[in-house]
């Protein structure tokens, strides 16, 4: 794929946890502009500024599409919807209540706190509740209009049951969220948080995305990779290796001493989300037992 085919896509660095290169949203500069993902709640200012810099005024944004409702991807959706009043928020039907209902939103925040710890969760900020009237629920096979094309919605569970990927049939770019891992510092890494990580569902999602034949992958963490088939094949190999590594470490040191378990795995798996991802795999193993 030539870089010219993605000239309509602007990578928006949401500066997650104050760190450049940790999370990317995407502005699709089509006749009806679309924002894919939004970042954590504190990202609203930087995302808004980027959109204005690209010529997208307050009344111009047509849609906001969180790939899933984890707070690092969707925490800023409610605030951005208020700042861009003509934007429809398209969100998977299972995730929608977690953005529109106060009790569910608080439950989501509590789940994030358990997954990433108090210090990180505090930096995710407090999301603004999204009016349900601003939303349109989506599911597998639906489309999101953006003026001169429609983005195909692909249900993409495994990382989260409310996750979707979006495939642009014009450029053959796929906007993944966390459906095919993280690409941080040029390295492909697993992303397996509790309580929803499911290995089989993840591998099925990767296979279905590969069948769509994308040429570029737009990761939530972080940026664009243009060797899509190789990247999807690599994640399909990496993810079972990661789960097997956790199983082996459990056999060696046990699952109860989480600090020792993480330390054992850190010898071979350097990831900024290692502790969270270990917990997710352990949770999945114990749930299947």
Q: Starting from the edge strand earliest in sequence, which strands make up the sheet with 24-28, in order?
A: 9-13, 24-28, 34-36, 63-65, 88-92, 135-138
Model pLDDT for residues 73-84, shown as the tens digit of each residue: 999 999 999 999
| Section 166-171 average pLDDT | 96
How much is the pLDDT for 122?
84
CA distance 268 to 266: 5
- The model carries a pTM of 0.95
Model pLDDT for residues 100-145, shown as the tens digit of each residue: 999 998 888 888 888 778 888 788 899 999 999 999 999 999 999 9
| Cα pseudo-dihedral 3, 212, 189, 178, rounded to 10 | 100
Model pLDDT for residues 190-206, shown as the tens digit of each residue: 999 999 999 999 999 99
Residue 182's contacts (CB-CB under 8 Å, 6 or more residues apart) are 188, 189, 190, 191, 219, 220, 221, 222, 271, 273
Model pLDDT for residues 241-283, shown as the tens digit of each residue: 999 999 999 999 998 898 999 999 998 998 999 999 999 999 9
How much is the pLDDT for 3?
45
Comparing 117 with 49, which gets the higher pLDDT? Answer: 49
The rounded percent of the chain whose pLDDT value lies above 70 is 98
């Amino acid at each position: 794929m030539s870089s010219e085919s993605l000239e309509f896509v602007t990578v928006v660095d949401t500066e997650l946890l104050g760190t450049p290169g940790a999370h990317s949203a995407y502005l699709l500069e089509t006749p009806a502009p679309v924002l894919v993902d939004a970042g954590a709640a504190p990202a609203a200012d930087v995302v808004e500024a980027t959109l204005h810099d690209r010529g997208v005024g307050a009344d111009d944004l047509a849609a906001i599409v969180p790939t899933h409702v984890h707070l690092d991807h969707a925490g800023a959706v409610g605030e951005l919807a208020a700042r861009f009043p003509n934007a429809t928020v398209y969100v998977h039907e299972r995730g929608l209540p977690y953005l529109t209902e106060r009790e569910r939103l608080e439950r989501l925040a509590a789940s994030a706190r358990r997954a990433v710890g108090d210090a990180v969760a505090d930096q995710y900020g407090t999301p603004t509740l999204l009016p349900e009237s601003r939303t349109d629920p989506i599911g597998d096979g639906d489309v999101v209009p953006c003026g001169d094309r429609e983005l195909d919605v692909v249900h993409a569970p495994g990382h989260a049951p409310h996750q979707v990927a979006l495939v642009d049939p014009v450029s053959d770019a796929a906007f993944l969220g966390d459906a095919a891992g993280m690409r941080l510092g040029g390295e492909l890494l697993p992303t397996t948080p509790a309580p929803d990580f499911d290995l089989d569902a993840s591998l099925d999602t990767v296979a279905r995305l590969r069948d769509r034949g994308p040429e570029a992958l737009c990761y939530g963490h972080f940026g664009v990779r243009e060797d899509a088939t190789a990247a999807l094949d690599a994640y399909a190999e990496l993810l079972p290796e990661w789960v097997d590594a956790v199983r082996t470490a459990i056999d060696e040191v046990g699952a109860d001493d989480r600090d020792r378990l993480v330390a054992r795995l850190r010898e071979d798996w350097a990831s900024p989300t290692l502790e969270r991802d270990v917990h997710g795999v352990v949770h999945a193993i114990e749930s299947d037992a």
